[in-house]
Chain A
Amino acid sequence: MMDEAAKIAEREHRDHTGSKMGMWFFLITELFFFVGPFLLYAVYRYRYATEFRKASSVLNLPLAAINTVVLLTSSLTMTLSISSVKRGSKRMAAIFLAITAILGVIFMSNKYVEWHEKISHGIYPGSQDLLMIGRGEALFYSLYFFMTGLHGLHVAGGIVLIVVMMVLVIKEEVHQDDVVKLENSGLYWHLVDIIWIYLFPLFYLIS
């Protein structure tokens, strides 16, 4: 017969592995969420190879390359913040999280600049100009806006998540012995980075 103490212990015991598993399953759903548009991209690039190349040349490669480095660096700082918590260094953890969030904001700003550039030149879904140019190019831009837009929404969500984690770290609700929430947030952030790792060459490096 289980006594009260054991019962309480069992209830209090947080299943860290289970929590991590749940997060991974959620990441798999995010992965398959992006698979749909990636599939469309694959088919349309196969069909409209030349138009895709032409449309891609109009995009702002340097800015996107910088954005890629920004995101890769933010993954590094995210990982380092987790290491800091595990080491018991609350200050460094919060600092790394702040940097991660700032890098995320920089990514979004660059994205805004990029989009603004395109839109002010008449390149946006449903625009008159898009109706004039070839269908292959129009499809490229449709996919470009949809996929980078969807990705951007995920980055925005991630930034909010990181700020929340920063608060929890400062309040010591995330600490050396209970770092799962932060690790799970890290997993999410890295996935967002990985999706960009694929988006970048597919949209910007078609020579």
Chain B
Amino acid sequence: MNHSEDMKTHGLTYVVVWAVLVVLLLFNMAAGKFFTGLAGLAINISIASLQAVLALSFFMQLKDEKGLLRIIVPLAVVIIMILMGLVFSDVGYR
């Protein structure tokens, strides 16, 4: 098996991912200028989440994992959203 070839492709993939991350960063900064309030926050978080997913999938190799490790991050995110939701069921109504 030719490790070098696989690794070169892999190495390039990582550089591409990095470039996308930087571009997304620029988008985020631009969005920050043009959108305010809730819309701005939503866009910021969405772009940040996209960056996070890329980092998780490629740099942290979650796309190659199976079983428990594959679902644990989405599971954590769901739990976090529920926690926030329940706290906001309080904070949003008093």
Q: Within 8 Å by CB, do A and B touch in the complex?
A: yes
Residues of A within 8 A of B52 (CB): 194, 197-198
Number of B residues with CB within 8 Å of any CB on chain A: 46
B7 touches A201 (CB 8 A): no
Given contacts A87-B4, A194-B52, A201-B45, contact A186 B91 (CB under 8 A): no
Q: What is the bound-complex CA distance between A190 and B28, given in angstroms?
A: 20
Q: How far, in angstroms, from A188 to B44 measured CA to CA in the complex?
A: 24
Encoded as 1 (CB less than 8 Å from any A CB) or 0, chain B from 14 to 54 comes to 11011001100100110111111100110011011001100
Q: Which residues of B contact A25 (CB under 8 A)?
A: 72
How many residues of chain A are within 8 Å of chain B by beta carbon? 46
Contact in complex: B48, A201 (CB < 8 Å): yes
Q: Are A65 and B14 in contact (CB under 8 A)?
A: no
**CB contact under 8 A between A79 and B84, given known A65-B25, A205-B32:** no
Is the pair B32, A201 in contact by a Cβ cutoff of 8 Å? Answer: yes
- Nearest Cβ distance between residue B9 and chain A, in whole angstroms? 10
- Give me the interface of A with B, judged by CB distance under 8 Å: 20-21, 24-25, 28, 31-32, 35, 39, 42-43, 45-47, 49, 53, 61, 65, 68-69, 72-73, 75-76, 78-80, 83, 86-88, 186-187, 190-191, 193-194, 197-198, 200-202, 204-207
